[in-house]
Amino acid sequence: MKAFTYERATSPAQAVAAAARAPNARFIAGGTNLLDLMKLEIETPQHLIDVNGLGFDKVEATPQGGLRIGALVRNTDLAADTRVRRDYGLLSRALLAGASAQLRNKATTAGNLLQRTRCPYFYDTAQACNKRKPGSGCSAIAGVSRQLAVVGASEACIATHPSDMAVAMRALDATVETVRPGGVRRTIPIADFHKLPGSTPHAENALLPGELITSVTLPPPVGGKHVYQKVRDRASYAFALVSVAAIVQRDGTGRVALGGVAPKPWRLESAEAQMPRGAAAVAAALLAGAKPTGQNEFKLTLVERTLDAVLTEARS
Ligand code: SF4
């Protein structure tokens, strides 16, 4: 691990000012992904700004009838919140499908959104990887790609986004609130938060340098049956091959987002019009234009079958 300096921020203004002063700084909260990346020298920040003391650790009702989730709310606490379990069951289930109990105790809401891909070549510094080192190539395209993306990828990168929580938040139309140096605040719809790789796979999200996530807001609950199903190689502590987050209303309409198949939580609102027609129609719409590799082509069938199981469960 490279040497770095460290400070504890005591206010959001102090945190973003420190980030503005040190261009190669990173915010750290739970550190469940960042510390691994630093040990492997994939991330080499010269300065860490600890934001654990900023007080963003509460889940609060909004005047609009939704919930504002502080950026530092731990995944375990969010999954167990009675309002989340009652009104946003999809989110609670997705959180509990992620990582391990120990990691969920430490991992935060903002950190979960920002976690980086688990593409094996990204973690192997002896291999070419455009995301880790822009312009170096992509070892995965002709390599081991079983876990990787079938839609939304590019010729530069076929990595998937690893979060379960973000898939549920995409289905719930969450928004991400931030603060920047100078105190500028903004709200980013989660649909626009994660970027597709295009020719710049190292640019993974909409955050600007020094911009800090303060909270994630859920709109008022939409009712319906909430189902999250994750298909993976072992029963726990594994990333999704395919996951499906669905909210299904009594009349068969609803929302669907996919995990494990794309560089970002994958939701196409236009595909949801197909929900009353069944899983095959929804899967065809969600996966239109898919470009699987020989190793991950199975995901196309797996999406349809998982969707079928989810829609069947939602109707039961
Ligand atoms: Fe790197 Fe993306 Fe290629 Fe994986 S898929 S090796 S993360 S460029």
In the predicted structure, residue 315 carries a pLDDT above the cut 90: no
Is the shortest distance between the CB of 263 and ligand 1 below 6 Å?
A: no
Q: Whose CA is nearest to atom 1 of ligand 1?
A: 129
Q: Which residues lie below 8 Å from residue 238, measured CB to CB, with a gap of 6+?
A: 232
d(CA 101, CA 112): 14
Q: Is the pTM of this model over 0.85?
A: yes
Q: Is 149 in the pocket of ligand 1 (CB under 6 A)?
A: no
Question: Residue 99: CB within 6 Å of ligand 1?
Answer: no
Identify the pLDDT of residue 23. 82
Q: Give yes or no for residue 119 CB within 6 A of ligand 1.
A: yes
**d(CA 35, ligand 1 centre) in Å:** 20
- Residue given tokens 């009675």 in the structure block: 82
Mutating to test ligand 1, I would choose from 148, 157, 160, 264 the residue with most ligand atoms within 8 A of its C-beta, which is 157
Provide the percentage of residues in the chain whose pLDDT is more than 90. 99
Instruction: Name 158's Cβ contacts closer than 8 Å, sequence gap at least 6.
Output: 119, 138, 140, 141, 145, 148, 149, 197, 263, 293
- The tens digit of pLDDT for each residue in 95-133 reads 999 999 999 999 999 999 999 999 999 999 999 999 999
